[in-house]
Structure 1
Amino acid sequence: MTLDFWFFCIAGPAVLFAGVSKGGFGSGAAFASASILALVIEPGMALGIMLPLLMLIDVSTLKPYWGKWGATEVKLLVAGGIPGVIMGALLYKVASPDFFRLLIGGISVGFVFWQMGRHAGMIGTAKQGLPKSVGLFWGVVTGFTSFVSHAGGPPAAVYLLSRNLSKTQYQATTVLVFWTLNAVKFVPYAFLGIFTIETMTADLLLAPFAVAGAWIGVKAHRFISQRLFFGVTYTLLLLTGTKLIWDGLT
């Protein structure tokens, strides 16, 4: 990996985008930053660069959303997410990420169309809340996909968008969930040798982009309406789901 001008032309905007997504729009598209980096460097190195930056964004956005999350949703996603991270660490060397990209991408795109049908009155809505097992299941999927490709945002969104949270509850929940899961991921990443001197050097140079993106995301979240927020979130979920399908096929 060469930390030259062209690297930062790609990496700088990618990290800025991750900060904006995680800071204001529920992390749905933040995973795309690792995919963008993988255009210019080896994919495993891209994961190693992004994790410390994602953790920096988590820390930068935790205070503005402190205490505003959905407690039940956080507990279920984290309770399922930690085993998912462990599963990802155990299967990292042998599992094919493309299968999971296709699976999560298909579910994400299908969920958006399901929600469109529900709002249009074409699909009935359950009168009772979803069982806790649903939250635990999506927590496992979130933890696993977060570990293997930083793509935990779409499966988390599938569950959280079904919970009728306010835009700030939704955003705060994603901040706390991924702050926890990214911290858990750090140890197995280190043992697997994903971090190197090169990745840490790149992190130091890219840190300002991460902080700036987080700040922009928090500001954008405060000034947009709840309807626009969820419109953007559904759009990001559709785009990221499509991108996952494309990555899995190609």
Structure 2
Amino acid sequence: MTFIDDPIFYVAAIPAMLIIGISKGGFAGTLGMLGVPLVTLVIPPVQAAAIILPILCLMDIFGLIAYRRGADWKNLWCMLPGAVTGIFIGALLFKYLNDDIVRLLVGSVAVLFTLNHWLKPAIKQQVAGRSFIKGSFWGSISGFTSFVAHAGGPPLQFYMLPQKINKTLFVGTSVWFFFVVNYVKLIPYTYLGQFSSENLGTSLLLLPLAPIGIWLGVRLHKLVPEELFYRFAYLMLFAVGLKLLFDAFNGLFGIF
């Protein structure tokens, strides 16, 4: 089994894996989207996604250990059928997808959603309830963007954040959601031939970072107050949206 032997790759990949682990272990996945682009700075996005997926799957197991009892099962029922549908739509369209178009769509919605939350009067910010229709819609978007770019965090946030549920229940629901999503993704990734010997060998080298990142995330989660958590979640969602828009415009038009 071979692996990537370029030291520059690991300069980007090691902090990226830790960031993803911290995000999954304590911040509902949003922060993890800042880690994925680091890897794509040094290798193609498709290869980066293939290397990262097995590590995500291991992180999901550690995440379940930490949050095995903390999940909103009714919300999961609303989201997961759509997520599985979105994954297989992504698989069917895989050969025709443009990574920058996906980044543009996800980044635009992330930025607009966050600005809407910040700018509208607080009196109108009513707590949303569960909805199978909304959950299925955003779940399908999350499944699709997770398949093509491991960018399923913002659509999940769009559905879950307005509900303002307890932060631990929020993170636990996210952990269970992406546990199912990532393991389902293994099927089309394998069928599409994404797990080459080099990709799997590189994943194996990076696997020890999975429990370290999750542990750091769990520790930070316990230290952060709930109000600060939601402020941080919206701020990170906005930052990720800007990063995705930057990458999209640069890739499509070479503006930056």
User: Is the TM-score greater than 0.5?
Assistant: yes
The alpha-carbon deviation at position 118 of structure 1 amounts to: 4.4
> In structure 2, how many angstroms separate the alpha carbons of the residues matched to 1:240 and 1:128?
23
Change (3 A) 1:68 1:42: same
> In structure 1, how many angstroms separate the alpha carbons of the residues matched to 2:149 and 2:127?
35
Structure 2 residue identity aligned to 1:214: I
Cα deviations across residues 109-164 of structure 1 (Å, max 9, x unaligned)?
1111222234633xx24587364211110000000000000000011111110112
The match for 1:29 is 31
User: What percent of counterpart residues are identical?
Assistant: 37
The match for 2:45 is 43
Cα deviations across residues 51-104 of structure 1 (Å, max 9, x unaligned)?
001111111111111121111211111111000000000001102232222122
The alpha-carbon deviation at position 228 of structure 1 amounts to: 1.4
Where does structure 2 lack aligned partners over 5 or more consecutive residues?
A: 251-256
Structure 2 residue identity aligned to 1:161: L
The alpha-carbon deviation at position 39 of structure 1 amounts to: 1.1
The match for 1:221 is 221
The alpha-carbon deviation at position 16 of structure 1 amounts to: 0.6
1:58 and 1:179 in contact (8 A); partners too:
yes
> In structure 2, how many angstroms separate the alpha carbons of the residues matched to 1:145 and 1:115?
22
The match for 2:140 is 140
1:17 and 1:33 in contact (8 A); partners too:
yes
> In structure 2, how many angstroms separate the alpha carbons of the residues matched to 1:232 and 1:33?
17
Question: Does the alignment pair 1:105 with 2:119?
Answer: no
Question: Does the alignment pair 1:79 with 2:105?
Answer: no
> In structure 2, how many angstroms separate the alpha carbons of the residues matched to 1:117 and 1:10?
35
Change (3 A) 1:100 1:7: closer
Once the two structures are overlaid, the 10-residue window that deviates more, 184-193 or 103-112, is 103-112
Once the two structures are overlaid, the 10-residue window that deviates more, 163-172 or 178-187, is 163-172
> In structure 2, how many angstroms separate the alpha carbons of the residues matched to 1:184 and 1:247?
27
The number of residue pairs the alignment matches comes to 248
2:82 and 2:137 in contact (8 A); partners too:
yes
The match for 1:245 is 245
The alpha-carbon deviation at position 5 of structure 1 amounts to: 2.6
> In structure 2, how many angstroms separate the alpha carbons of the residues matched to 1:167 and 1:59?
20
2:127 and 2:164 in contact (8 A); partners too:
no
What TM-score do you get using the length of structure 1 for normalisation?
0.94
Question: Does the alignment pair 1:211 with 2:194?
Answer: no
> In structure 1, how many angstroms separate the alpha carbons of the residues matched to 2:249 and 2:78?
31
Change (3 A) 1:215 1:167: same
> In structure 1, how many angstroms separate the alpha carbons of the residues matched to 2:185 and 2:128?
34
Change (3 A) 1:205 1:148: same
1:13 and 1:209 in contact (8 A); partners too:
no
Where does structure 1 lack aligned partners over 5 or more consecutive residues?
A: none
2:70 and 2:168 in contact (8 A); partners too:
yes
Structure 1 residue identity aligned to 2:234: Y
Structure 1 residue identity aligned to 2:87: V
The alpha-carbon deviation at position 230 of structure 1 amounts to: 1.1
Change (3 A) 1:44 1:155: same
What TM-score do you get using the length of structure 2 for normalisation?
0.92
The match for 1:234 is 234
Q: CA RMSD in A?
A: 1.6
